[in-house]
Amino acid sequence: MTRIPENLPAHIPHYIGGRRVDSIGGERFDVLDPVTNETYATAAAGRKADVDAAVDAAREAFLHGPWPRMKNRQRARILHRIADIVESRDAELAVFESFDSGLPITQARGQAQRAAENFRFFADLVVAQRDDTYKVPGTQVNYVNRKPKGVAGLITPWNTPFMLESWKLGPALASGCTVVLKPAEFTPLSASLWAGIFEEAELPTGVFNLVNGLGEEAGDALVKHPDVPLISFTGESSTGQLIFANCAPHLKAMSMELGGKSPAVVFADADLEKAIDSTLFGVFSLNGERCTAGSRILVERGVYDEFVERYAARARNIVVGDPSDPRTEVGSLVHPEHFQKVMSYIEIGRSEGRLVAGGGRPEGLDTGNFVAPTVFADVRPDARIFQEEIFGPVVAIIPFDDDAEALSLANDTRYGLAAYVWTSKLERAHLFAQSVEAGMVWLNSHNVRDLRSPFGGVKASGLGHEGGYRSLDFYSDQQAVHITLGDVHTARFGAH
Ligand code: NAD
């Protein structure tokens, strides 16, 4: 079998204070290969004591180490070195990521470039950073004293894990914070590369710490730790709600990037061929395990039948198979638990819409977490498959008659992460974009991001926006310092 990567570790430890260590209590959990669902490695299962040790190391590095006190340019140099090393590991990383998560290898390959760019971008930004100074002529000068907030708790999901970790590590480190990362338990493999990358780039010891483990144990201990003043979380909305409640007693700063059920709206005047290409990619790339997936497609009635027919034909033609095969377009879902969840939605969908493609396990792939790209047409707006995040290769299509109905259907969900609009009318596109309840909108295009732009969702899809300077602001305190020039005019209490 060629699909088993070389250098696969048999065990994945934590990384605390510059050392690869096991859990204090010796606990471990199994990590599965998503193609066979067999255990290929164990990982250290962190609990409160392990999180305490990691936070102590990060706090020591924050209070007494060089990182928060370095000039921005010095930190940026190290971040650029990290980016160079990440890029040079592209092939190894892609193989690890594809093997651990089931992502098709061709789609895993770009992830190192995107991760490297997250370090380069925030390195450049922190060097170019300027803060405000205000003068009140003859009386006062005020300026902003920007300071890193402290030990940042970073909690990440299993879809494109390495890239999403870099999206938090880049700005947290650029800002001068020290960090404890708790990666997703389904996919700890690629995160195990960070320690070596940071050592090679000479990031000071204790700045980066990683605790593996289950969300309800390691993640929970990190969220509740009193010496971690901020939590950056990406994951499900329900987990976000729980974390929000657990942060409340400590009044922690929170950045939450949560789930989605994003609409892709296709008007009759759209370039149908391009819209079909994009809406297929939007929900079936990354195995459909994409937060911004356009998993609800709204199509204007005049082109609805044609769209559904052409879309379903293409979906039936998508190549599902071994993630390590470069021909594969949809690989295996990450874990048998997630596979069961997606399959249960397909069963629910049978009574909620007309199945026009897929509908379960593809022929010839009898084991592993493979799901055929599945398309339901004529779905009711109140259907569960139209309202709930499935996070797999499943899409619901629905017709609409005019702009007002399209907007109302697009907004008729608890989520508000992304929206996609396909039309040749400029005015219609902008009017729609401005009214749709979504943190991010793409007009006649899909998920290509500009790191300077806000990233995040509204409603149940998130809290706060990162991207560009917003990310640096999240990881920094901005203290106002006031200096009086000349006499201070003070009412003289008790002087009379
Ligand atoms: P999840 O919420 O199950 O887990 C995410 C992380 O939280 C994991 O590391 C997990 O161990 C941890 N966790 C779980 N319970 C916890 C608790 N009680 N306290 C602290 N940590 C806890 O999400 P997932 O299944 O790993 O990821 C898929 C979800 O992530 C989808 O909903 C998807 O839309 C969302 N997502 C959002 C974005 C975005 O930018 N908005 C990006 C990627 C994924």
Q: Does one domain contain both 137 and 169?
A: yes
Residue 491 lies in a domain: no
User: What residue's CA is closest to ligand 1, atom 35?
Assistant: 235
Residue 35 lies in a domain: yes
Residue 471 lies in a domain: yes
Euclidean distance between CA atoms 20 and 44, whole angstroms: 10
Which residues, in sequence order, are CB contacts of 116 under 8 Å at separation 6+?
A: 82, 83, 84, 86, 87, 166
pLDDT at position 487 is: 87
Name the active-site residue from 165, 185, 257, 329: 257
Residue 438 lies in a domain: yes
pLDDT at position 37 is: 97
How far is ligand 1, taken at its centre, from the CA of residue 156, in Å?
6
pLDDT at position 400 is: 98
Q: Is 463 in the pocket of ligand 1 (CB under 6 A)?
A: no
Distance between alpha carbon 78 and the CA centroid of its chain, in Å?
A: 24
Q: Does one domain contain both 294 and 340?
A: yes
Q: Does one domain contain both 244 and 343?
A: no
How far is ligand 1, taken at its centre, from the CA of residue 74, in Å?
33
Q: What is the CATH number of the domain that holds 316?
A: 3.40.309.10
**Both structure tokens of 375:** 């398309």
User: What residue's CA is closest to ligand 1, atom 11?
Assistant: 215
Q: Which atom of ligand 1 is nearest to the CA of 222?
A: 20
Q: Is 182 in the pocket of ligand 1 (CB under 6 A)?
A: yes
**Does the annotation count 257 as an active-site position?**
yes
How far is ligand 1, taken at its centre, from the CA of residue 148, in Å?
25
Question: What is residue 99's three-state secondary structure?
Answer: helix
Q: Which atom of ligand 1 is nearest to the CA of 182?
A: 9
The β-bridge relationship of strands 418-422 and 440-443 is parallel
User: What residue's CA is closest to ligand 1, atom 20?
Assistant: 219
User: Which regions in the chain score pLDDT beneath 70?
Assistant: 1-2
How far is ligand 1, taken at its centre, from the CA of residue 179, in Å?
18
Residue 6 lies in a domain: no
Q: Does one domain contain both 214 and 305?
A: no
pLDDT at position 2 is: 54
For 162-210, what is each residue's pLDDT tens digit?
A: 999 999 999 999 999 999 999 999 999 999 999 999 999 999 999 999 9
User: What residue's CA is closest to ligand 1, atom 12?
Assistant: 215
Euclidean distance between CA atoms 181 and 184, whole angstroms: 10
Q: Is 223 in the pocket of ligand 1 (CB under 6 A)?
A: yes
Q: Does one domain contain both 250 and 267?
A: no
Residue 336 lies in a domain: yes
pLDDT at position 1 is: 44
Q: Does one domain contain both 156 and 126?
A: yes
CB atoms within 10 A of CB 21: 16
How far is ligand 1, taken at its centre, from the CA of residue 439, in Å?
18
Which residues, in sequence order, are CB contacts of 215 under 8 Å at separation 6+?
A: 155, 182, 185, 235, 239
Q: What is the CATH number of the domain that holds 70?
A: 3.40.605.10
User: What residue's CA is closest to ligand 1, atom 23?
Assistant: 235
Euclidean distance between CA atoms 460 and 339, whole angstroms: 23
Q: Which atom of ligand 1 is nearest to the CA of 417?
A: 41
How far is ligand 1, taken at its centre, from the CA of residue 218, in Å?
13
How far is ligand 1, taken at its centre, from the CA of residue 489, in Å?
54
Q: Does one domain contain both 212 and 148?
A: yes
Q: What range defines the domain where residue 470 resides?
A: 11-258+461-480
- Which CA distances in Å does 145 have to 130, 148, 174, 409, 477? 11, 10, 16, 46, 8
Q: Does one domain contain both 163 and 33?
A: yes
User: What's the domain count of the chain?
Assistant: 2
Q: Does one domain contain both 433 and 466?
A: no
User: What residue's CA is closest to ligand 1, atom 41?
Assistant: 257
Q: Does one domain contain both 78 and 105?
A: yes
Q: Does one domain contain both 278 and 165?
A: no
Query: Given ligand 1 and candidates 180, 236, 463, which is best to mutate, with the most ligand atoms within 8 Å of its CB?
Result: 236
Question: Is 427 exposed, middle or buried (CB count within 10 Å of its CB: 0-12, 13-18, 19+)?
Answer: exposed
pTM for this structure? 0.98
Euclidean distance between CA atoms 228 and 149, whole angstroms: 9
Residue 291 lies in a domain: yes
Q: Does one domain contain both 306 and 419?
A: yes
Query: Given ligand 1 and candidates 291, 449, 458, 466, which is best to mutate, with the most ligand atoms within 8 Å of its CB?
Result: 291
